[in-house]
Structure 1
Amino acid sequence: MRIESVLGTHRAHVVVVAGLLPLAGCAVLSAFRDSVANTNAALGLVLLVVAAASTGIRAAGLVAALSAAVWFDFFLTEPYNRFTITDPADIETAVLLMGVGAAVAEIALWGRRQQARASREQGYLDGVLRTASAVSAGRSSTDSLIGNVCAQIVEVLGIDRCRFDSGNGLVLATIEEDGGVTYNARPIDVRRLGLPTDTEIAVLAQSGGVVHGRFLLTSTSNVVHPSREQLRVAVALANQIGAALMTTPSQHPPGEHLPERPDDARP
């Protein structure tokens, strides 16, 4: 994560270096034109493109691929030191170098995205499991659990704030059990439109079909587009608090009033 943060902070520098690496490589290889075949030189340049693509910055991979093709032409094909190719085989090699380099860059980026997604999903699962373990073991107070869950929901969804509320006042938006989002009782496409920014968004904390409160989420500083999996993680976290409140009613947060359960209603 630290390396990725550094690379993201210096994207422009990374792209420039990615463009200069093939230039340096071709300049060095030009001193061995008689002993190194152009096909072998092209394979070496592909390695430089892969190295650039492994940074996770698409522009770096594409710039490296283009630079490799250009400087391969300039240094390693006749007439030398000119942007001209006369040998059809060298033309094919240059075109393939650029095409393969671009394809390899995209594949490398796809792999990094898949790895990042798997890492995020593992982090979500670990968060849910830690909360469930704390609830079942009774190691933490309800206040502490609620604060922990709020922090995890904020991190998972990328929103501004989260607070727990035991009331049942009107809220326009709700995250449903299946991870869908409704606004004014109508489903909305969060991946396309993002979470609503003009109202708090409710996530019910329930257990055994009984609602024990809700988390109210705020996302006003920017529009976020969480996936269905992220929204379901938020629901799972909220339900852990529902389970905690069901098993430890005496630890309800002070000042909060939980909805009365149907079986507690007086005749």
Structure 2
Amino acid sequence: MRTSLRDAVALAAAVLAPFLMALALLPLRTSLTHTNLALLLVVVVVAVSALGNRFAGGLAALSAVAWFDFFHTEPYQSFHIQDRADVETALLLLLVGLAVSQLSARARVLSRAAVSDARHLERMHDLSRLVRSGGCSADELVERIRADLIEVLDLRGCRFVDGSPPAVGPLPRMGPDGSLRVEGWIWDFERQGWPDGETELWAVAHGRCQGVFVMTPVPGAVPPSLEARLVAVDLAGLAALALDGQKDLVQP
């Protein structure tokens, strides 16, 4: 599974940011209560969680507790806590940090999903309008959809094979519900990711297969969401409609 640059930066910040904040607060150690110091460290956890993922947020919470203990509880420069109130503050810092990291990471996921859904909707709207207006040929539309499939499913490559599925071969196939079938079995896409090799996506309209998009995923890539797979199925359906209409026009 690939790690994005943003997540890598967040992991580094999860380790370093609480340490730097705890170090910067040393001059205020005698003037601020331990509760206020802990709250300031929670702010760092929130920032890391917003930048990265749940793991980064949880790591930041643990790091915040460790450096709070080391720099701001007696005995200083030690990971031992003597005062019961300091123990309670450290535990609360950990619990609040973990809770906030989960909420921040969830908010980030929802935000990304909303942006992704908006892009998918815009893409489908543009292509549907293009099909209705006849603004491009069926071959041009298929080429555009092929490129869109690479983007939507984060593929390494995709090609279109005109004609019936037997011309391609018995490859894993993405069904109309976004599921994946491998040799007749339903593939656990969310847990197993893409199967090895290529995967078919049939372009079907009015019960007839007009061709097959043969997709090549990136090895080890995070599997696309169900929503993205359903968009891919709809894109293939638009290609099939355009090809079906083109073939009807050339029939004698």
Contiguous gaps of at least 5 residues in structure 1? 253-259
Alignment partner of 1:73 out of 69, 76, 82 = 69
The 5 A counterparts of 1:12-27 are 14-27=10-23
Partner AA of 1:233 in structure 2: V
User: Counterparts of 1:156 and 1:197 in 2: how far apart (Å)?
Assistant: 19
Partner AA of 1:174 in structure 2: R
Partner AA of 1:175 in structure 2: M
Cα distance change on mapping 1:205 and 1:49 into 2, 3 Å: same
Q: Does 1:214 align with 2:211?
A: yes
The 5 A counterparts of 1:46-65 are 46-65=42-61
Q: What is the number of equivalent residue pairs in this alignment? A: 246
Cα distance change on mapping 1:244 and 1:43 into 2, 3 Å: same
Alignment partner of 1:111 out of 98, 101, 107 = 107
Alignment partner of 1:231 out of 206, 222, 229 = 229
Cα distance change on mapping 1:239 and 1:46 into 2, 3 Å: same
Q: How big is the shift at 1:140? A: 1.5
Q: Which residue of 2 aligns with 1:241?
A: 239
Alignment partner of 1:93 out of 89, 92, 113 = 89
User: Counterparts of 1:200 and 1:15 in 2: how far apart (Å)?
Assistant: 34
| Paired residues of 2:10 and 2:52 also in contact (CA < 8 A) | no
Q: Does 1:180 align with 2:179?
A: yes
Cα distance change on mapping 1:227 and 1:84 into 2, 3 Å: closer
User: Counterparts of 1:237 and 1:37 in 2: how far apart (Å)?
Assistant: 59
| Paired residues of 2:61 and 2:98 also in contact (CA < 8 A) | yes
Structure 2 SS opposite 1:219: strand
Cα distance change on mapping 1:101 and 1:201 into 2, 3 Å: same
Structure 2 SS opposite 1:89: helix
| Paired residues of 1:166 and 1:212 also in contact (CA < 8 A) | no
User: Counterparts of 2:41 and 2:232 in 1: how far apart (Å)?
Assistant: 46
Q: Which residue of 2 aligns with 1:132?
A: 128
User: Counterparts of 1:108 and 1:197 in 2: how far apart (Å)?
Assistant: 35
User: Counterparts of 2:5 and 2:165 in 1: how far apart (Å)?
Assistant: 45
User: Counterparts of 2:230 and 2:247 in 1: how far apart (Å)?
Assistant: 25
> Normalization by structure 1: what TM-score?
0.78
Contiguous gaps of at least 5 residues in structure 2? none
Cα distance change on mapping 1:94 and 1:144 into 2, 3 Å: same
- 4+ runs of 1 displaced by more than 6 Å? none
When structure 1 is superposed on structure 2, of 74-83 and 118-127 the one drifting more is 74-83
Instruction: Select the structure of larger CA radius of gyration.
Output: 1
User: Counterparts of 1:195 and 1:72 in 2: how far apart (Å)?
Assistant: 43
Q: How big is the shift at 1:236? A: 0.6
User: Counterparts of 2:30 and 2:237 in 1: how far apart (Å)?
Assistant: 70
Partner AA of 1:84 in structure 2: H
> Normalization by structure 2: what TM-score?
0.82
Structure 2 SS opposite 1:163: strand
Q: How big is the shift at 1:200? A: 4.6
Structure 1 SS opposite 2:158: strand
Q: Which residue of 2 aligns with 1:162?
A: 158
User: Counterparts of 1:43 and 1:110 in 2: how far apart (Å)?
Assistant: 21
Cα distance change on mapping 1:15 and 1:236 into 2, 3 Å: closer
Q: How big is the shift at 1:127? A: 1.6
When structure 1 is superposed on structure 2, of 114-123 and 212-221 the one drifting more is 212-221
Give the superposed CA RMSD: 2.9
| Paired residues of 2:164 and 2:209 also in contact (CA < 8 A) | no
Structure 2 SS opposite 1:85: coil
User: Counterparts of 2:11 and 2:115 in 1: how far apart (Å)?
Assistant: 26
User: Any idea what the Cα deviations from partners look like across 1:127-163, whole Å, max 9, x if unmatched?
Assistant: 2221111101111122211111001112222333323
Q: How big is the shift at 1:93? A: 0.2
User: Counterparts of 1:246 and 1:96 in 2: how far apart (Å)?
Assistant: 64
